[in-house]
Chains A and B, each alone.
Chain A
Amino acid sequence: MIDPSLVDLSRLQFAMTALYHFLFVPLTLGLSFILAIMESVYVITNKQVYKDMVKFWGKLFGINFALGVTTGLTMEFQFGTNWAYYSHYVGDIFGAPLAIEGLMAFFLESTFIGMFFFGWDRLTKVQHLGATWLVAIGSNLSALWILIANGWMQNPVGSAFNFVTMRMELTSFSDLLFNPVAQVKFVHTVSAGYVTGAVFVLAVSSYYLLKKRDIAFARRSFAIASSFGFAAVLSVILLGDESGYEIGDVQKAKLAVIESEWDTATPPAAFTVFGIPNEKTMTTDYAIKIPYALGIIATRSLDEPVIGIKDIIARHEQRIRTGITANALLNKLKSGDKSPETIAAFNKVKDDLGYGLLLKRFTNDVTNATEQQIKQAARESIPKVAPIFFTFRIMVASGVAMLVLFGFAFYNSNRAKFMGKQWLLKFAIISLPLPWIAAETGWFVAEYGRQPWAIGGILPTHLGVSSLHSGDVLTSMITLALLYTALLIVEMYLMIKFVKQGPSSLHTGNYHFEKLSNQGVN
């Protein structure tokens, strides 16, 4: 059996590096489009203030982008370093979107970001605008391919197990590409990125408006952010990936856990707004429910049931039993019996091979697993309820708060009345952390909610790790944590420094602090 502490440390390191990476990604996704919009306005109207906006917000974009790249390096390589068996087992499918991401998206984004920052005097106005749009398109295409990879982990379509190579192999690239789970995740994730960019610009602009400086600059930034953000927040909530929860076994389990729905309710199921999930009694204490809501949101119908946790566990137990047969047949194939009958028998049950592998956590000899081990594997075939139940609600609450913020901001910016509304400016400033809270909790729900699977129904997480010593991973994790934290502190320091300076940091001579010092000299 695989050392459980190695598994825990590998998971912790992955979670930490991925969550750190996603502190920077959403701002890149959103701010790049906001920059492109601002520059488009500049090219159309030819007003200097819009060029200054692109340059100033671009400066902040750059500070954030540097750490996005830094932490992204780890993501590209750590499947190999820490999840070597995973890389072998599913690399045939999972590697392709990562490589295509490099070729199609990351090259584009990174090549033109150099032009964005350093091409102002070398490119024509329209060429530079093109470069800015390509940065935005490149970063969003990046997200597309990464989410196709991630969507496949949640709902592994277009692939089959090959016993000769002992791995999953691609059977249909178009299934991988048009995986419905990947599609909804993509829309949800990039929209969340746009909201992040918009909240960032809105909050910082509000700070200038509240301080009553660089009004013309801040007012225009606020207006662009409020309309862009309003559209984006509607998209996140309406096209939330809720609709992706009825596809695939892992997603169904995730939905039941999010709702803490222990028993399958008669449709349409009620939505649990709040409660305390109890793992022991398999009930939700103090539950507050809205009738019908869950059934309608999740199944888009009134008569389809949302399967409860207990029924899911019972189904998994059946699949684990079939998985034992699949493992026995695989052993037969490996030991040389490749008769057509054995192959046919294996092909019949191989979809449950992964369920059999769940038993590897409890015994090396899957084919002779005890009744108790099977029950235990089935019980642990869904994630713990409480962490997901609560983080999901934190995410939704943050989303709703941002919807309210952008509702007011958009309404007022249309009437150009927002500058005097102190409460709105303050509301915008205190909302600054919300998109990050929503994004991090959202990823937690998506990935912790996938447990115990690395690839839903195919490869248990604990089998995916590299053959390392837990001491190696502990060392690397601590070093990474220290480095990331140090770099994050530097990043925050620079961010705050430049936000405080505002557009004066461009040294054009037209903004608040420069005018002040000029007056001082005169």
Chain B
Amino acid sequence: MFDYETLRLIWWLLIGVLLVGFAITDGFDMGSGIISLVVGKTDDERRIIINSMAPHWEGNQVWLITAGGAIFAAWPQVYSVAFSGFYAALLITLMALFFRPVGFDYRSKIETPKWRNNWDRLLFVGSVVPPIVFGVAFGNLFLGVPFSFDELMRARFTTGFFSLLTPFALLCGVVSLLMLITQGATWLAMKTDEELKQRISKLGSWTALGTTLLFAIAGVWVSQLDGYSIVNMTNFNADSNPLAKTVILNAGGWLSNYRLYPWMISMPLIGLLSPLATWWCLRNQKDGFAFLFSSLTLLGIIMTAGCSLFPFIMPSVLSPNFSLTVWDATSSYKTLSVMTIVAAIFVPIILCYTLWTYYKMFGRLNKQFIDNNNHSLY
């Protein structure tokens, strides 16, 4: 079929697709979950917001779960090092995510305001924590993660939860949060109407501007960081052994890919300009386009991170030679081949039926809809 090197590239791209898919779909759920508590004043307003995603959030969340599974299958060493190295951060995220399924499903099962307000708060926690932690985690990739391997290839760390919270990583966390709030706002702009929609659009236009600004600052900051590069790798088809290469650090090195492959510049450009377009669309009631541009923002920003780091996935600050890269941290040729066939068959099928369900549930929600379906909605 393909050679090992090509398969490794395909899987770098596919995991990118899964992460972008997660951000676009589950991202608007998380953004909406935040907006529900911040903008939604009454139970009816919150129910409009929550029920706009009710038919979709379960499917959307699978993007995250499948991304987890795909990283396990395609980059087992990354799954192993990242998830155990960021142990506390991962568990906090996981526990925050717990509150979403139950928050959605249980909040309207009982009518008392106390019951519902508490679930709304938990839903907010489940929506606000993951974007921040994922952003912080990405930020730490640029700074390098303190891990090393022993002779059995067992990873060892010198990191704790609080050492992850450096200023640059926190900035990345805020970018991630703002872009997903914007995503939620553009979704809700399509699904709500009248005064509620105006308030949400206003919030979204501000967070869109904030996304551009902070993304630009993060870009300038990255140009000052030490980047990693491989100096002696000749065989990109070799068995995955992350100990065999030599890696050097150089200031501003994370931008070197943009000199090597100028087309990659399109990604940060999309990341910078799309939020501005989102801002304009939200101001001018172009709700569908606002959602489209916000989704492009997510693509641009996530792929900027991927392209800047490429071929690195997890640089090791402790022993740079042991950094995990696209070329030496993947699963075997056989596994990648099987997984490529599976993905080639199922990703298009998934996209088809997902789009079909969105098409079927198309349209705005209002108070009357909530009243009419009081007992069957969230």
Contacts and interface: CB of A to CB of B under 8 A. Distances in A.
| Pairing of A with B | yes
Interface of A: 55, 62-63, 65-67, 69-70, 72-74, 76-77, 79-82, 84-85, 87-88, 91-96, 98-104, 106-108, 110-115, 117-120, 122-123, 162, 164-167, 169-171, 173, 334, 463, 466-468, 472, 476, 479-480, 483, 487, 490-491, 494, 497-498, 505-507
Interface stretch (B74-82, B197-205, B209-217, B289-297): B74-82
Interface string B59-85: 101100110111011101101111110
B6 to A, nearest CB: 19
Interface string B101-118: 110111001100000000
B354 interface: yes
A111 B334 contact: no
Given A66-B105, A467-B155, A170 B335 contact: yes
Most B CB contacts (10 A, CB to CB) among A95, A118, A472 go to A95
A267 B23 CA distance: 61
Given A104-B342, A170-B334, A80 B82 contact: yes
A95 B70 CA distance: 7
Q: Which of B56, B70, B87, B155 is packed against the most chain A CB atoms within 10 Å?
A: B87
A107 B84 CA distance: 26
A91 B77 contact: yes
B interface majority secondary structure: helix
A91 B55 contact: no
A98 B151 CA distance: 28
B259 interface: no
Chain B interface size range: 35 or more
A483 B99 CA distance: 10
Contact of A62 (B57, B90, B105, B157): B105
Given A92-B332, A110-B62, A171-B334, A122 B361 contact: yes
Interface of B: 51, 54-59, 61-62, 65-66, 68-70, 72-74, 76-77, 79-84, 87-88, 90-91, 94-95, 97-98, 101-102, 104-106, 109-110, 151-157, 239-241, 331-332, 334-335, 338-339, 342-343, 346-347, 350, 353-354, 357, 360-361, 374-377
A494 B107 CA distance: 11
Contacts, number: 248
A80 B332 contact: no
Given A95-B79, A110-B61, A115 B55 contact: yes
A96 B90 contact: no
B98 A334 contact: no
B335 A84 contact: no
Nearest to B54: A118
8 contacts: A79-B72, A80-B84, A81-B91, A99-B66, A99-B72, A100-B69, A102-B62, A170-B335
Contact of A66 (B104, B338, B376): B104
A207 to B, nearest CB: 20
Nearest to A116: B55
A72 B156 CA distance: 27
